A and B are shown apart, each in its own frame.
Chain A
């Protein structure tokens, strides 16, 4: 599956979508869901929670394992995807539309530190070898 070029990425396999209103939407990548397998449970951050960059703030659990999700940048959690509580399998169906939560960044410039689609693709190639 191709890696969407309009998104930013982290080494820990989150995707980050900068929205027009200055907030960001966060999910896990197609590669991450593929590694984990069928999703059965998602725990998301409370709205209003202040998050540091790289702070553990969500958990996705598949039939196989639990994986932590990290805040890609610092900010305040402003929304969690309500659909995932009853339908965590949406992450397997389309990881790039099944978002986990939204953040209001502390500093918009922090987004510049994230990986581009090309950088993320390179990261995956290196993981394979």
Chain B
């Protein structure tokens, strides 16, 4: 039996093509994944991301607990409402999950974790709580829904739909949030476009979704969500990193605080292990489509190197295939490499990612 979000009936009424996504019955697209992708880049689209799980951590001095639990430094969160992107590591330095932490007050932090890892994360966090800070409450919030409204016109559309929200949210910077009545509104997202992620009571989700639709926001499915995040160079858990990979070899070094004295779970392992690989962008020069697990072969100073595509696909904005790949550190941006596709060697180039941000192509073509 698949799990469903509070918007399941709404998706079906909108003729969504539904798929089993890690045990969740989720919309893949509502007709055309490409149209939905362009709609988000050019105007505004909305995604049901209620399969992701908000977990509230409450009690005396949550911050001290989080300093040990996650790899990024929660001391960067000084203003209430501020958010941070981080990995939660195991003692071996592998990634248990990537998540966003919102600082609401010293007694209340909210984290949002991936759907597929929600149960594992909750168990891990509870176990660590028992060891480190047994007085804290860990509260999984399945009573909430989550809708991401993304695109250059996304904020405007939300302002039309939630009375009084413009005054409350127009000064929010990226990775800031605020609470307005039943709506928790954060200027975050997974598309490389401006917009909000809004957490609200499950019972209000359908009404809010339909109001956004009436205001001209197009529904977009998981298909477009994946091509948008790939263009934006954002990691996908389970593909670009997992429990066996280091964040330092997954393009996530910027989220790992190795500078402060603070100790966190996994830090010792990261310090001891040499970094031999890097996550880089790849653009296909030949015709074809890059997919995850394809082999990347490169030559540098008479040595042959091998890597692997972690996320690949067709970029609707660039109209060419792009990928993220884990490749040996010896390979540099600008190098030409080969990708093995159905036993053929296709030509590709290593590029600095993100590929697309705020509607603009950032790579040289």
Q: How far is the CA of A59 from the CA of B346 in the complex (A)?
A: 15
Within 8 A of B (CB), among A41-70: 41, 43, 59, 61, 63-64, 66
A63 lies within 8 A of B313 (CB): yes
Within 8 A of A (CB), among B1-27: 17
Query: With a CB–CB cut-off of 8 A, which chain B residues contact A61?
Result: 288-289, 314
Q: Interface range on chain A: under 10, 10 to 19, 20 to 34, or 35 or more? A: 10 to 19
B residues sitting closer than 8 Å to A (CB atoms) are 17, 28-29, 32-34, 223, 227, 287-289, 291, 313-314, 316, 321, 342
B342 lies within 8 A of A59 (CB): yes
| Cross-interface CB contact of B28 among A37, A40, A59, A89, cutoff 8 Å | A37
Dominant secondary structure at the B interface: mixed
Complex: chain B residue closest to A37, CB-CB: B33
A37 lies within 8 A of B29 (CB): yes
**Known contacts A63-B33, A63-B223: does B288 contact A43 (CB below 8 Å)?**
yes
Q: How far is the CA of A63 from the CA of B287 in the complex (A)?
A: 14
Q: How far is the CA of A59 from the CA of B287 in the complex (A)?
A: 12
Query: With a CB–CB cut-off of 8 A, which chain A residues contact B291?
Result: 66
Q: How far is the CA of A7 from the CA of B351 in the complex (A)?
A: 47
A40 lies within 8 A of B342 (CB): no
User: A106 at interface (Cβ–Cβ under 8 A)?
Assistant: no
A8-34 near B? 1/0 per residue, CB < 8 Å: 000000000000000000000000000
A-B contact count (CB 8 A): 38
Q: Which of B223, B287, B289 has the most CB of A within 10 A?
A: B289
Query: With a CB–CB cut-off of 8 A, which chain B residues contact A85?
Result: 287
Report the 6 A-B pairs with minimum CB-CB distance, sorted nearest first.
A40-B314, A38-B34, A61-B289, A63-B33, A41-B289, A38-B33
Complex: chain A residue closest to B29, CB-CB: A37
Complex: chain A residue closest to B17, CB-CB: A37
Query: With a CB–CB cut-off of 8 A, which chain B residues contact A64?
Result: 28, 33, 223
Q: How far is the CA of A89 from the CA of B32 in the complex (A)?
A: 11
A38 lies within 8 A of B32 (CB): yes
A27: min CB distance to chain B, Å: 20
A37 lies within 8 A of B288 (CB): no
Complex: chain A residue closest to B35, CB-CB: A38
B239: min CB distance to chain A, Å: 15
| Cross-interface CB contact of A66 among B17, B28, B223, B289, cutoff 8 Å | B289
